[in-house]
């Protein structure tokens, strides 16, 4: 579970991030982000998840959400303070492993410039 202050919870927040933020798509997911700018160092980064019925039934959707939450929790501390993310799962995420989802999240964050890039990675996802 993400800490309460690290969660995007209100529909207005989701809508704002998805409409105003930048996005990077990968095969299994799309990351929408508003990078933290001129924020206090103590402002935590936030993340929210969108897993629609196109991904699968309730059991599958919750499994995908748990995997994404686990992957994202480890990366929130590396984002600029005040950053906000919405990770939208695509149908291919239903059969993905945690490692594949982690690779997609890392690749999308690098493409958005929220984490340092690594030259050896292929960003074509």
Taking CA atoms, 57 is separated from 60, 63, 120, in Å, by 5, 10, 37
Domain boundaries, the chain: 4-111
pLDDT of residue 111: 95
Burial of 122 (0-12, 13-18, 19+ CB in 10 A): exposed
pLDDT in tens, 55-111: 999 999 999 999 999 999 989 988 988 899 999 999 999 999 999 999 999 999 999
pLDDT digits (tens, 9 = 90+) for 12-45: 999 999 999 999 999 999 999 999 865 556 678 9
Its pTM stands at 0.87
Domain 4-111 matching CATH 3.30.230.10: the answer reads: yes
């Amino acid at each position: 579970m993400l800490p309460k202050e690290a969660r995007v919870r209100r529909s207005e927040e989701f809508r704002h991030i998805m409409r105003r933020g930048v996005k990077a798509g990968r095969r299994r997911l799309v990351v929408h982000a508003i990078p933290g700018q001129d924020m206090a160092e103590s402002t935590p980064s936030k993340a929210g998840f969108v897993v629609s019925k196109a991904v699968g039934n309730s059991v599958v959707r919750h499994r995908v959400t748990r995997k994404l939450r686990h992957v994202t929790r480890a990366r929130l501390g590396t984002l600029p303070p005040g950053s906000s993310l919405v990770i939208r799962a695509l149908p291919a995420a239903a059969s993905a492993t945690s490692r594949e989802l982690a690779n997609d999240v890392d690749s999308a964050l690098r493409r958005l410039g929220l984490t340092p890039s690594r030259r050896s990675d292929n960003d074509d996802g």
